[in-house]
């Protein structure tokens, strides 16, 4: 429709060349309807798979929904805020477990995002200049990102085996750093196992995005700084990092959401029941729902999780956009 | 060695060498384990870990097909990921064209809503979707739950938001003069889309297709809940090697490698397009 304005202006002035333009233009109704028609399939699917289920999820969280009502969930009795009360009653077992899982997830996510960002940015900075083998390395570094999650994680499961895994072979047999072979997939060590796999899988994305961001920084900035006598570290601090700010703003948020919501990694790493030290929130809710078949409480937990993510995202965008006068967020 | 006007200092080159070597080791370690273990006899993977196979064997690559019905899982994954990709790309092309070329009411609401579905935890709509599919099945007899169709439908929406977002960027970079010229030449808006905009945005469409395929190929959560014995995909099927008394690690590694190859090969081949597409949005 943006194009109609100049067209109409042209018509009124009857400039030559556009004289027979209007007749070819499709009818006004079609013109207005067409974008909606084009959006319709995407809209319907998003409604069916994301938005309607979300609304139903919110409704379900107010019901006592156990396996007996699965055939027709609408008949399940209303329970007002019971599910929420159960979920956030931190003195009772359910609430306590949820709080614990939330704490674990938050700690894990912050560490993982921090490390992914740090490794990705360092690698991108080191690879900003061309050197021999740079292209090959770049392709290699993308392998963890390209591998299907489950094949990569299953390989890590093998490496973390106590008796026949690579990790204990190196740490215990070869380096003697531990006094006995450790369990990595149960107990407290599972947190580090999960963190390792998550960073291994996640840093290439940070690397990719930062690499692309670096290419957009004008070379002249560096040359000017070099003339002024700024060393490499100063250039990174004064030019590179500030120029990357908008890129980092999106990158960190995306990494945070992906890591916080990650289900695949812990699920393949630990199976249906994750050890307490690595019990991420999505696994926890999955278990609370499908193991006990109590969908009401599971939904209440999901809604709380969504609210938390909304608040964090909103707060983060508000906080990081202050002082930035761009409207593209 | 360096193309820059000033050669970087020695200390920089050394720290770079050390850092990148360590990082390469970290990245390649699992890949090495996967490849080497897939060529080991069973005894090598049940005892203490060995860096090198005691003897090289391709036996695991033969056995993987009979230990679990891997071929069937493979076909299921191919059908599901393939169909999800095709539908997702076509639908994303239409939606992105509308957003890129038209001004209409609700445009901003649409893009924001679609993008924000990316931040929802999958677990949030897993339960309701499970119920919706079961209820649709009970009411109409259309089996969505447990069928490939249900999985295709679900997966295609997973890649849709990001695909639309990437394609909007690509379409925006195709000059409007081109499709306006096509319209003047007698093409309708759809003619302009398919004859001008789509051909000009092929790299973007390839990127979106690779992304959609990878998303569907690697998904575990919905696959584990929404499939049964006949529709099981690789994501769930690979765990079949580890539920038995003996864990056939050499076969698991062989199967993982076979399953990864198509995706990794495709990704590395089309890397340039995908990287450009993935990063276009974030960098803009």
Q: What are the structure tokens assigned to A305, written together?
A: 């999780």
For residue B20 the two structure tokens come to 């990148």
Residue of A35, A50, A211 lying closest to B120 (CB–CB): A50
User: With contacts defined as CB-CB under 8 Å, which chain B residues touch A67?
Assistant: none
CA distance A280 to A194: 10
Question: What residues contact residue A150 under an 8 Å CB cut-off, 6+ apart?
Answer: A264, A268, B218, B220, B234, B235, B238
Q: Least CB-CB distance to B2: which of A2, A73, A129?
A: A129
A155–B23 CB contact, under 8 Å: no
B133: left (phi over 0), alpha (psi -120 to 50) or beta: alpha
Say yes or no: B245 contacts chain A, CB-CB below 8 A: no
Residue in chain B closest to A263 (alpha carbons) equals B221
Matching residue, tokens 């499961």: A157
**Token representation of residue A208:** 């990719």
Residue in chain B nearest A216 by alpha carbon: B283
Q: Which of B162, B278, B24 is nearest to A144 (CA)?
A: B24
The mean pLDDT of B63-77, rounded to a whole number, is 92
The stretch B113-120 carries a mean pLDDT of 77
Minimum-distance CB partner of A1 among B94, B103, B282: B103
Question: Which residue on chain B is closest to A209 by alpha carbon?
Answer: B279
CB atoms within 10 A of CB A141: 24
* DSSP symbol at A26: P
B272 touches chain A (CB under 8 A): no
A63: three-class secondary structure by DSSP: strand
Burial class (CB in 10 A: 0-12, 13-18, 19+), B47: exposed
* pLDDT value of residue B280: 60
Among A159, A109, A33, smallest CA distance to A262 is for: A109
Over the range B226-264, which residues count as b (16 or more CB within 10 Å of their CB) and which as e?
Answer: bbeeebbbbbbbbbbbbeeeebbbbbbbbbbbbbbebbb
Residue A271: half-sphere exposure toward Cβ, Cα within 13 Å? 9
C-alpha to C-alpha distance for A314 and A155, rounded to whole angstroms: 37
Shortest distance between the Cα of B9 and any Cα of chain A, in A, equals: 9
Separation between Cα atoms, residue A126 and residue B22, nearest integer Å: 13
CB atoms under 10 Å from CB of A310, counted, come to: 13
The predicted pLDDT at position B103 comes to 86
Structural tokens at position B139: 């009411």
**Using N-to-C axis directions, what is the helix angle for A52-60 and B122-140, rounded to 10°?**
100
C-beta separation of A150 from A157 below 8 A: no
Where chain A has pLDDT below 50, the residues are 1-24, 326-329
Dist CA B95 CA A42 (whole Å): 7
- Is the alpha carbon torsion for A312, B156, B27, B233 positive or negative? positive
Q: What is the arithmetic mean of pLDDT over B131-153?
A: 84
Q: Which two tokens stand for residue A12?
A: 């009124």
Quick one: pLDDT at residue B278?
A: 64
Identify the band that residue B244 occupies on the pLDDT scale cut at 50, 70 and 90: low
pLDDT of residue B284: 45
Is there a contact between A50 and B125 (Cβ–Cβ < 8 Å)? Answer: yes
Instruction: Specify the DSSP element, H or E, that contains A166.
Output: helix A166-168
- Determine the pLDDT at residue B254: 95
- Contact A48/B153 with Cβ under 8 angstroms? yes
């696959």: which residue's tokens? B223
Q: Please answer yes or no on whether B128 and A328 come within 8 Å at the CB atom.
A: no
In chain B, what residues touch A54 (CB-CB under 8 Å)?
120, 124-125, 128
Query: Which chain B residues are within 8 Å of A70, Cβ to Cβ?
Result: 131, 134
With a CB-CB cutoff of 8 Å, which residues 127-166 of chain B face chain A? 127-129, 131-132, 134-135, 138, 153-154, 156-157, 160-161, 164
Å between A92 CA and nearest CA of chain B: 23
Q: Is B68 on the interface with A (CB under 8 A)?
A: no
Q: What is the pLDDT of residue B2?
A: 39
Give B274 or A17, the one with higher predicted confidence.
B274
**What's the confidence (pLDDT) of residue B216?**
93
Pairwise CA distance, residues A166 & A160, whole Å: 7
Residues in A closer than 8 angstroms to B30, CB to CB, are 144, 152, 155-156, 159, 200
Give the helix ranges, DSSP H, for A240-294: 241-243, 245-261, 264-270, 281-290
Q: What is the mean pLDDT of residues B119-124?
A: 78
**Cβ atoms within 10 A of the Cβ of A54, count?**
20
Q: Can you spell out the DSSP letters for B106-130?
A: THHHHHHHHHHGGGS-HHHHHHHHH
What share of chain B has pLDDT > 90, as a percent? 36
Structure tokens at A162: 């106590």
Tens digits of residue pLDDT in B204-218: 898 889 889 998 999
A155 burial type by CB count under 10 A (0-12 exposed, 13-18 middle, 19+ buried): buried
pLDDT for B245 equals 67
Q: How far apart are CA A278 and CA B259, in angstroms?
A: 27
Interface test with B, best of A50, A73, A223 (most B CBs within 10 A): A50
Verify whether the Cβ–Cβ distance A155 to B122 is below 8 Å: no
Find chain A residues with C-beta within 8 A of B221's C-beta.
263-264, 267, 282, 286
Residue A201 gets which letter from DSSP?
A: H
The full length of chain B comes to: 284
pTM (two decimals) = 0.86
CA separation for the pair A31, A50 (Å, rounded):
29
The token pair that represents A271 in the structure block: 């199976």
- Please give the torsion angle defined by the CA atoms of residues A27, A30, A32 and A38, in that order, rounded to the nearest 10 degrees: -150
Phi then psi for residue B146, to 5 deg, are: 85, -5
First to last CA, chain A: 24
pLDDT at B185: 79
Selected residue of A43, A47, A53 to mutate for chain B interface (largest B Cβ count, 10 A): A53
DSSP secondary structure code for residue A78 in this structure: B
Q: Which residues pair with B227 in a beta bridge?
A: B146
Mean pLDDT of chain B: 85
User: What is the rounded CA–CA span in Å between residue A121 and residue A208?
Assistant: 9
**Which pLDDT does position B5 carry in this prediction?**
47
Q: Which of A169, A264, A305 sits opposite B221 (nearest CB)?
A: A264
Q: What pLDDT score was predicted for residue B7?
A: 62
CB contact at 8 A, A204 and A120: yes
Tell me the C-alpha distance between A125 and A217, whole Å. Answer: 12
Sketch out chain B's domains with CATH numbers: 68-283 (1.10.3720.10)
State the maximum Cα–Cα separation within chain A, in Å, rounded to a whole number.
91
Where do the DSSP E strands lie in A71-115?
none
Ordered structural domains, chain A, with CATH: 93-219+246-321 (1.10.3720.10)
Phi, psi of A274 (to 5 degrees): -80, 150
Q: Give the torsion through C-alpha atoms of A135, A214, A200, A169, to 10 deg.
A: 60
Pick from A245-249, A299-303, B110-114, B223-227: least confident: B110-114
Most confident of A61-65, A233-237, B64-68, B256-260: B256-260
Whether residue A212 and residue B45 make contact (CB cut-off 8 A), yes or no, is: no
DSSP A141-183: HTHHHHS-HHHHHHHHHHHT-TTT-HHHIIIIIIS--SSSPPP
In the prediction, which pLDDT does A18 show? 41
């Amino acid at each position: 429709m943006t194009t109609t304005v100049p067209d109409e202006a042209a018509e009124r002035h009857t400039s030559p060349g556009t004289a027979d333009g209007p007749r070819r233009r499709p009818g006004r109704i079609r013109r207005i309807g067409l974008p909606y028609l084009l959006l319709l399939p995407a809209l319907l699917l998003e409604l069916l798979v994301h938005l309607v289920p979300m609304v139903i999820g919110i409704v379900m969280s107010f019901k006592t929904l156990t396996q007996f009502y699965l055939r027709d969930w609408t008949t399940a009795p209303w329970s007002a805020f019971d599910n929420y009360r159960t979920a956030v009653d931190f003195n009772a077992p359910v609430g306590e477990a949820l709080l614990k899982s939330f704490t674990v997830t938050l700690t894990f996510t912050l560490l993982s995002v921090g490390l992914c960002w740090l490794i990705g940015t360092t690698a991108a900075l080191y690879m900003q200049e061309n050197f021999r083998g740079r292209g090959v390395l770049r392709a290699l570094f993308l392998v963890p990102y390209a591998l299907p999650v489950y094949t990569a994680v299953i390989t890590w499961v093998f490496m973390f085996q106590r008796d026949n895994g690579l990790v204990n072979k190196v740490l215990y047999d070869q380096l003697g750093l531990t006094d006995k072979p450790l369990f990595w997939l149960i107990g407290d060590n599972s947190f580090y196992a999960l963190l390792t796999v998550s960073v291994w899988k996640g840093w290439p994305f940070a690397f990719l995005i930062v690499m692309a961001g670096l290419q957009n920084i004008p070379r002249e900035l560096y040359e000017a700084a070099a003339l002024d006598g700024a060393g490499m570290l100063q250039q990174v601090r004064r030019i590179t990092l500030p120029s990357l700010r908008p890129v980092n703003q999106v990158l960190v948020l995306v990494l945070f959401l992906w890591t916080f919501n990650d289900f695949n990694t812990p699920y393949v790493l630990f199976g249906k029941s994750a050890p307490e030290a690595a019990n991420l929130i999505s696994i926890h809710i999955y278990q609370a729902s499908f193991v006990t078949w109590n969908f009401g409480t599971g939904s209440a937990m999901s809604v709380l999780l969504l609210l938390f993510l909304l608040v964090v995202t909103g707060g983060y965008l508000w906080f990081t956009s202050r002082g930035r006068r761009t409207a593209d967020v | 060695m360096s193309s820059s006007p000033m050669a970087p200092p020695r200390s920089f080159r050394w720290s770079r060498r050390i850092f990148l070597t360590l990082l390469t080791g970290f990245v390649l370690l699992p890949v090495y384990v996967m490849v080497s273990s897939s060529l080991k006899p069973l005894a090598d993977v049940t005892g203490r870990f060995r860096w090198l196979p005691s003897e090289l064997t391709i036996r695991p690559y033969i056995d993987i097909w009979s230990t679990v019905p891997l071929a069937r899982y493979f076909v299921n994954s191919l059908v599901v990921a393939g169909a999800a990709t095709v539908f997702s790309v076509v639908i994303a092309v239409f939606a992105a064209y509308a957003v890129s070329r038209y001004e209409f009411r609700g445009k901003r609401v649409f893009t924001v809503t679609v993008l924000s579905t990316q931040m929802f935890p999958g677990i949030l709509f897993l339960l309701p979707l499970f119920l919706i599919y079961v209820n649709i099945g009970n009411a109409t007899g259309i089996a969505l739950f447990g069928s490939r169709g249900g999985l295709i439908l679900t997966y295609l929406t997973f890649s849709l938001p990001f695909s639309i977002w990437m394609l909007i960027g690509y379409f925006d970079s195709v000059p409007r003069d081109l499709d306006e010229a096509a319209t003047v030449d007698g093409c309708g808006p759809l003619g302009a889309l398919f004859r001008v905009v789509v051909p000009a945005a092929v790299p973007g469409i390839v990127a979106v297709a690779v992304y959609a395929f990878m998303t569907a190929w690697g998904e575990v959560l919905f696959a584990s809940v929404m499939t049964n014995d006949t529709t099981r995909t690789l994501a769930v099927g690979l765990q079949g090697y580890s539920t038995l008394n003996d864990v056939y690690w050499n076969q698991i590694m062989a199967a993982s490698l076979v399953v990864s190859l198509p995706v990794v090969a495709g990704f590395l081949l089309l890397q340039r397009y995908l990287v450009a597409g993935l990063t276009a949005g974030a960098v803009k």
